[in-house]
Structure 1
């Protein structure tokens, strides 16, 4: 299949990147709307969290299956159908009048959204010759970075000025335009015209095992902390289901001639090592994005809009650096250099963020967030490119899907571990702080001052003392929370330090022009 050129090429590039950004924005845009949804639908915050969880479960289940689904329906048909499904489900989410409806439609939206990541990347790679794929990785990396960062910003603006259904309805016009452009400008591969579905084997058992294993694991990671982990029966049951499902899935798939997920591609050492680093990247990317908004909103009074806007400079830094990294890799710069710099940036960002106190201003966060953006750019391009390096053309979609799944799982693990760690550290810090408050001269003096203040406002002695103690309790809780967030940033930084030796797993493999032409020829022959 010939690589598209000129106007058509860039229409395809813009369309698939916008579709990927739309999917990624929806992974985070609802986070700032949960309180409004909770009040509107009459649900608790714990229950409304299933709006996030259901989407994530569907997303992570469908991503590794995108290779099979693209073969079964034809890549263009599957991609177009997924955009349409995502758009319809988005509209249905905005029209939901109950929590059950919203959770169901969010799950369906996640099913449609799964293809908008991996298949977008595959279509983008097909739009560039092999030697330019690092540049294509950079373009796709822009979407990977921009989506999660702009999600809270867009969500915050909508929630501050409109109502929550708009966070879903805004997808509808974008989805319609994307569907029309895909229909008009994305070409089918030659083999898509002669798909023999009647004789195509469907790995039903593999699909079931994958859905059970990944779905159960995602629920455990998303809900474990709020449900007190294994003290809750259904979390214990789902943990067992996740282990049985995933282990069974691996053994089953390795025995199938036509598996739903060809995990044999993990026999490629470059892909295997890359997925490990991508998991680490996902952990750091999502954990950092999780800690920062919660910290500034709870402790420093940021609105959702202010939180999102404060993330924009770091996002823009990544946006501008990504194509530079891509072009440098095309010229032969070692990917190890970029991964090393990326790790260093994340380590510096985490320990810098751990040094701030509750008096920090938005300007104080400007430079560390810039460093985080640079680190994300440095990691995105080489890891995306390394995931497909050395794979046969027919295995590239599967390699991309597995790599994307590992980033999402890394993020799920990162958020779950970070959330649990913050909760545990908050309890520890509160106990330590309270022990210093009780009976201390300075604390007694402070309580007496506050008591006198409230009495001057008209309260009697008993009420004034209660108000003073309540205020001291709030100060203690705020300080315990701040120390816990600092600990969480340090934990992510330490995790990256521990993983530094893994940078040696990144292989430097620069293609000569002749090798690139041979690879492109092989890809074209495989397509026919």
Structure 2
């Protein structure tokens, strides 16, 4: 295989600035679109006449397409040339965005979201490799930091931006906003991005079609199970059982195929590297914490505190700005030789303190001031985790293995987010039911305090013109709502406690890390 020399891809001056802008723009396009639709689902249901289960597919289809295409990105780049593949992905994403905004029914929208996800998944990891290779070796820690800003800030920008567009325009504009940005990114990529020289393309009879099919089957099934498990009652549902079986058998057959076929679609041999194995585990945990906490905080502020979608999204902005501020600092520290393991250990510890503050701050009437500093800590923790985990994952890899390693870390971060959201939503429901039963058991109607509370509420409703019986019924409804609200708050507190324990348990993993070069050298990474 003919390799491109490292110096052929390093850029200087305005060219490097414009390539960096292109890569960050494409990263933001992909990541923001993962969360921007969350606040628009209600409006989509109304205008498209869809059920809640149907409209959930708008998120699921995009996530499935993302996770399927990410591990194939390295191979596809080799077949078509990186610049061609990157530009084609931007065009697919942009056209699919236009079609999403013009969808006439829910299943058209779901189909176009899947196509958008196929384009978007490719943008994520290809942008990472392009931005890394454009910087000289000594500055590649900084390159990862710049890329990391897009990955970490993106999920947080989605909800407030989506809320603003839905409140002031209409839901199709959350897709239309991608069109001018996609056109700009296409022109910049065509003008400035270079392709490494790869060896000969595979012939059609050498392509790992079975590998592609097995990857699609097991990843697609797994993603569906994670997204729909809770609402479909997990293994009491035949579809979930069937898809879980496909996931297990598909994974086993996929691993066998990739290890035995001469031209595998995904090179599993790269996982022989110990640091990459540890890095993929840490990326999974990072995705779990990043997407899990991004999910739970807006739900808590909207359902318990009664905030608008825009206000709930804006709460996350200061923490994201903190992360963006931390990234270049972490990049500089890496360049000066500070071990990644120290930063990762500190990052997990700070994430524990974030969960501790959130656990202690949650009440049915918490104010912004009680959540603010916890979220700032979350921003610092993410800054300390993302860049060191990414660089240590790739630190002992060489040449084209770096690109394949980056695909694994990207996929595991996305899957970690999916697992996090699935597990957290399941446990919120289970814990809420447990706490409700415990709280109701303490509501003894023979106690004088309970009787006085009911009587006071009843009198309040009677003063508004309701009959005594109607007022009594409404009084019990108010108490029931109060119990539900309190049980939900207690379940959120439990979630943060368990997240904190998980992050504490991750700290000893850093002792398994082998010393590699902080300044990674992905000269021939192929995405």
Do the two structures share a fold, i.e. TM-score over 0.5?
Answer: yes
Find the counterpart in structure 1 of residue 23 from structure 2: 16
Task: Find 1:412's aligned residue among 418, 424, 433.
Answer: 418
Find the counterpart in structure 2 of residue 162 from structure 1: 169
Q: Within the alignment, does 1:422 sit opposite 2:464 as a pair?
A: no
Task: Find 2:294's aligned residue among 282, 286, 289.
Answer: 289
d(CA) in 1 for partners of 2:48, 2:67: 27
Shift of 1:251: 1.1
Q: Within the alignment, does 1:348 sit opposite 2:353 as a pair?
A: yes
Q: Within the alignment, does 1:124 sit opposite 2:157 as a pair?
A: no
Report which stretch shifted further, 358-367 or 216-225: 358-367
Task: Find 1:218's aligned residue among 211, 217, 223.
Answer: 223
Kept in 1, the 8 Å contact 2:396–2:517? The answer is no
Kept in 2, the 8 Å contact 1:287–1:492? The answer is no
Task: Find 1:261's aligned residue among 261, 266, 274.
Answer: 266
Find the counterpart in structure 2 of residue 507 from structure 1: 514
Kept in 2, the 8 Å contact 1:335–1:507? The answer is no
Find the counterpart in structure 2 of residue 478 from structure 1: 485
C-alpha spacing 1:510/1:189, structure 2 compared with 1 (3 Å): closer
Kept in 2, the 8 Å contact 1:335–1:506? The answer is no
Structure 1, residues 193-251: CA drift from partner, whole Å, max 9, x if none?
x7545378210011011000011000000000000001010000000000000111111
Q: Within the alignment, does 1:237 sit opposite 2:242 as a pair?
A: yes
Structure 1, residues 113-149: CA drift from partner, whole Å, max 9, x if none?
0111110001011101222211111011101111001
Q: Within the alignment, does 1:309 sit opposite 2:314 as a pair?
A: yes
Find the counterpart in structure 2 of residue 280 from structure 1: 285
Q: Within the alignment, does 1:188 sit opposite 2:192 as a pair?
A: no
Q: Within the alignment, does 1:153 sit opposite 2:160 as a pair?
A: yes
Q: Within the alignment, does 1:329 sit opposite 2:348 as a pair?
A: no
d(CA) in 1 for partners of 2:39, 2:518: 45
Task: Find 2:58's aligned residue among 51, 58, 68.
Answer: 51
Extract structure 1 runs of 4+ deviating beyond 6 A.
Answer: none
Task: Find 2:203's aligned residue among 187, 191, 198.
Answer: 198
Q: Within the alignment, does 1:454 sit opposite 2:461 as a pair?
A: yes
Task: Find 2:502's aligned residue among 492, 495, 498.
Answer: 495
What is the root-mean-square deviation in Å for CA atoms of aligned residues?
1.5
Shift of 1:477: 0.8
Structure 1, residues 414-470: CA drift from partner, whole Å, max 9, x if none?
111111100000001111111112323212210111111111111111111011111
Q: How many residues align?
A: 517
Shift of 1:153: 1.2
Report which stretch shifted further, 129-138 or 75-84: 129-138
Report which stretch shifted further, 103-112 or 385-394: 385-394
Kept in 1, the 8 Å contact 2:355–2:496? The answer is yes
C-alpha spacing 1:196/1:334, structure 2 compared with 1 (3 Å): closer
Kept in 1, the 8 Å contact 2:274–2:514? The answer is no
Report which stretch shifted further, 344-353 or 226-235: 344-353
Task: Find 2:146's aligned residue among 136, 139, 155.
Answer: 139
Find the counterpart in structure 2 of residue 114 from structure 1: 121
C-alpha spacing 1:81/1:431, structure 2 compared with 1 (3 Å): same
Report which stretch shifted further, 77-86 or 350-359: 350-359
- 1:72-91 superposed matches below 5 A: 72-91=79-98
Find the counterpart in structure 1 of residue 442 from structure 2: 436
d(CA) in 2 for partners of 1:95, 1:335: 46
d(CA) in 1 for partners of 2:448, 2:291: 43
TM-score after normalising by structure 1: 0.95
Report which stretch shifted further, 6-15 or 199-208: 199-208
Structure 1, residues 31-76: CA drift from partner, whole Å, max 9, x if none?
1111111111111122211100000000000000001111111111
Kept in 1, the 8 Å contact 2:208–2:265? The answer is yes
Report which stretch shifted further, 38-47 or 219-228: 38-47
Structure 1, residues 351-375: CA drift from partner, whole Å, max 9, x if none?
1101121221112111000000000
Structure 1, residues 287-326: CA drift from partner, whole Å, max 9, x if none?
1111111000001111111111111110000001101101
| Long gaps (5+) in structure 1 | none
Kept in 2, the 8 Å contact 1:336–1:508? The answer is no
Kept in 1, the 8 Å contact 2:144–2:387? The answer is yes
d(CA) in 1 for partners of 2:203, 2:52: 47
Aligned residue for 2:400, secondary structure, equals helix
d(CA) in 2 for partners of 1:350, 1:507: 29
Q: Within the alignment, does 1:376 sit opposite 2:382 as a pair?
A: yes
TM-score after normalising by structure 2: 0.96
